[in-house]
Amino acid sequence: MGELSQPVLIKKGAEACLYLAKWYDQEVIIKKRMPKKYRHPKLDEQIRIYRTIHESLLIHEAKKAGVPTPLVFMVDVKNSTIIMEFIRGSQVKHLLGIVSVNERLSLCKKIGELIGKLHSYGIIHGDLTTSNMIQAHDGKVYFVDFGLGEKTVDLEARGVDLHLLKRSLQSTHFKYANECFEAIIQGYSRVFDIGTVRSVLDKVREIERRGRYVAERG
Amino acid sequence: MKNSEYPAWRCFKIRGAYEGYCLGIESTADDFSIGIVSFNGEVLANVIHAYVPPEGGIHPREAARHHAEVAEIVIQEAFRKAGINPRDLRVIAFSQGPGLGPCLRTGATVARALASYLKLPLVGVNHCIAHIEIGKLKTGARDPVTLYVSGGNTIVAAFDSGRYRVFGETLDIALGNCLDVFAREAGLRQKPGEPFGAIIEKLALRGDLLVPLPYTVKGMDMSFSGLLTAAISLLKKGVYRLEDLCFSLQETVFSMVTEVTERALAHTEKKEVLITGGVAANKRLQEMVRSVAEEHDANFCAVPSEFAVDNGAMIAWTGILAFIHGITTPIEESFVRLRWRLDEVDVPWVS
């Protein structure tokens, strides 16, 4: 792996371990998808390899859509490892609770606009949660963790993407989930025309109603 | 375990002030069950009478007819087992939702009749929350991430700020439903005491070829319907042995729920994993979830089968928790709630 030194484990997530290291004098993140003991080895390998390749491709594609993502320096498919740029900043998850109402809403609008850019470019993130968005010190919001993403312009996929974000807001930021989601949709509307936004939101409602138990409304 | 060690005692201000018994009625789907539980958490009776359809899935009306027919004998049996008198009861609890309309209404009718005849307060209980609460009572878990997998539900939930929050769930059909439909398509027959899940588990033990099936985790949510269609079409092609298909089906769907459970565990950093619901009896699923729990230094708590399936004791126990926190359901508000989500319910007894 070349000049890699002092890898320090900074996050043991459910799927991958993140190490902070120096690579040719540059601070990098090493993201290694760990083999899961519980999964059948064949299934496990397929999933890890698929997601590793997929994630690095989508991180690259997202830049073309105008969405900040880390630079990918190296992909080691065999070890399901990606070496990428380290983004200095704060997870949006931690920011939402501590900033002022106005800052929160403008941050959400910005996030909505970025999601709009991804979707209009045909990228579905697949795991839109506030842990997967980092606001860098220069104010730019970076999107990470594209492992569950896909390339499609399908309305259903866009709907699921936003539905998952809404659900994640409700479980993590339930106090202001609604206002955040509304602001996100405002940002999203900067990218798409009103008709498209409406059809995506209709889809989101349809997906909600499809859920096992949802109070029947309107 | 002495009574004083039951977790519920922690919320009692005056010890002994809440003595009594609760009768709980469960009738959300194919089981009709009556549980009698004392206020200190002792289960005196838990009688379950299952409706087994002659063929096909559960027809709500037929299941409801079954419930109405067996209600009387199940209630009598429960009192006989508990060794108490109806006059010893202090509250009646019933499963108010979510579930199948006709089945829920049958249980609710029984509950209203008992409550008004015995002049007792009524408590409508959320079925999914009852699964979590009896699981905590029976395993000693205090604040777990719960994986609830059954024929009607696939939910990963954990407590946060006054409510159980849903971290992941199915976007379409339940995991147990997926297994059941596959089993029926394969021409398997379930018997009382041996549900489809158990038959598939047995067959899977004799399979070893992993057939690729769609693995659909979307964020924290899962989808099983496409996977089911793919599995059925492979079955109809007849290229693979049924044992291998059962094996692959189990490996794939269980990996999906385990992955979501692990993500919830990593996210919430809780130290317990509770697994409940009818599918929780599956040894392979238990093994997978246990492995994830160990990985995250969390305790693995599997709810004993009698209390993991739909049962009246869980309704009675949750009814008690609600009742001692001042929650009762007036008759005029005791209509059933077919789509009542567990994250819509305040749970003041959890802190």
**Residue B203 pLDDT greater than 50, yes or no:** yes
pLDDT digits (tens, 9 = 90+) for B107-164: 999 999 999 999 999 999 999 999 999 999 999 999 999 999 999 999 999 998 899 9
Looking at the domain that runs over A4-85, which CATH code has it been given? 3.30.200.20
Domain A89-210 class in CATH:
mainly alpha
pLDDT digits (tens, 9 = 90+) for B173-185: 999 999 999 999 9
**Residue B239 pLDDT greater than 60, yes or no:** yes
**Residue B279 pLDDT greater than 70, yes or no:** yes
Contact assessment for residue B95 and residue B35, using Cβ atoms and an 8 Å cutoff: no
| Cα distances (Å, whole numbers) of residue B225 to A213, B155, B199, B228 | 16, 16, 21, 5
What are the tokens at B314?
């869980």
What are the tokens at A151?
């390339």
- State the residue for tokens 């993500």: B263
Amino acid at B87: R
Q: Same fold for the domain at B3-133+310-344 and the one at B143-307?
A: yes
pLDDT digits (tens, 9 = 90+) for A182-206: 999 999 999 999 999 999 999 999 9
Comparing CA positions, the residue from A149, A3, A150, A139 lying closest to residue A83 is: A3
**Residue B10 pLDDT greater than 60, yes or no:** no
pLDDT at res. A1: 52
Long-range contacts of B47-56 (CB under 8 A, 24+ apart): B47/B74, B47/B77, B47/B78, B47/B81, B47/B312, B48/B306, B48/B309, B48/B310, B48/B311, B48/B312, B49/B73, B49/B74, B50/B192, B52/B190, B52/B191, B52/B192, B56/B184
Please check whether residue A49 touches B, CB under 8 A: no
Percent of chain B with pLDDT over 70: 95
**Residue B76 pLDDT greater than 80, yes or no:** yes
pLDDT at res. B7: 44
pLDDT at res. B9: 43
- Confidence band for A213, pLDDT divided at 50, 70 and 90: low
- For residues B60 and B63, what is the distance between their CA atoms, to the nearest angstrom? 5
> Has domain B3-133+310-344 been given CATH number 3.40.50.720?
no
Q: What residue ranges of chain A are covered by domains with CATH 1.10.510.10?
A: 89-210
Mean pLDDT for A128-133 is 92
pLDDT digits (tens, 9 = 90+) for A145-175: 999 999 999 999 999 999 989 988 988 888 8
Assembly ipTM: 0.84
**For residues B202, B205, B208 and B212, what is the CA-based torsion angle, rounded to 10 degrees?**
50
- Confidence band for B18, pLDDT divided at 50, 70 and 90: low
- For residues A116 and A201, what is the distance between their CA atoms, to the nearest angstrom? 13
**Residue A14 pLDDT greater than 90, yes or no:** no
In what helix (H) or strand (E) does residue B220 lie, and over which residues does it extend?
Answer: none
Contact assessment for residue B336 and residue B97, using Cβ atoms and an 8 Å cutoff: yes
Q: What residue ranges of chain A are covered by domains with CATH 3.30.200.20?
A: 4-85
What is B143-307's CATH topology?
Nucleotidyltransferase; domain 5 (3.30.420)
- Confidence band for A211, pLDDT divided at 50, 70 and 90: low
Amino acid at B94: F
pLDDT at res. B14: 42
Mean pLDDT for B47-53 is 93
Q: Please, is A161 exposed, middle or buried when counting C-beta atoms within 10 Å of its C-beta (0-12, 13-18, 19+)?
A: buried
More confident residue, B19 or B80: B80
pLDDT at res. B212: 96
What residues in chain B have their Cβ under 8 A from chain A's Cβ atoms?
97-98, 152-154, 160-161, 165-167, 169-172, 174, 210, 212, 215, 217-221, 251-252, 255, 258-259, 262-263, 265-267, 287-289, 291-292, 295, 338-341, 343-344
Residue in A38, A128, A174 nearest the CB of B255 = A38
Q: Which of A132, A213, A216, A217 to mutate to test the interface with B (most CBs of B within 10 A)?
A: A213
Determine whether the interchain pair A38/B153 forms a contact, defined as Cβ–Cβ distance below 8 Å.
no
- State the residue for tokens 């007036």: B330
What are the tokens at B100?
């199948």
pLDDT digits (tens, 9 = 90+) for B297-333: 999 999 999 999 999 999 999 999 999 999 999 999 9
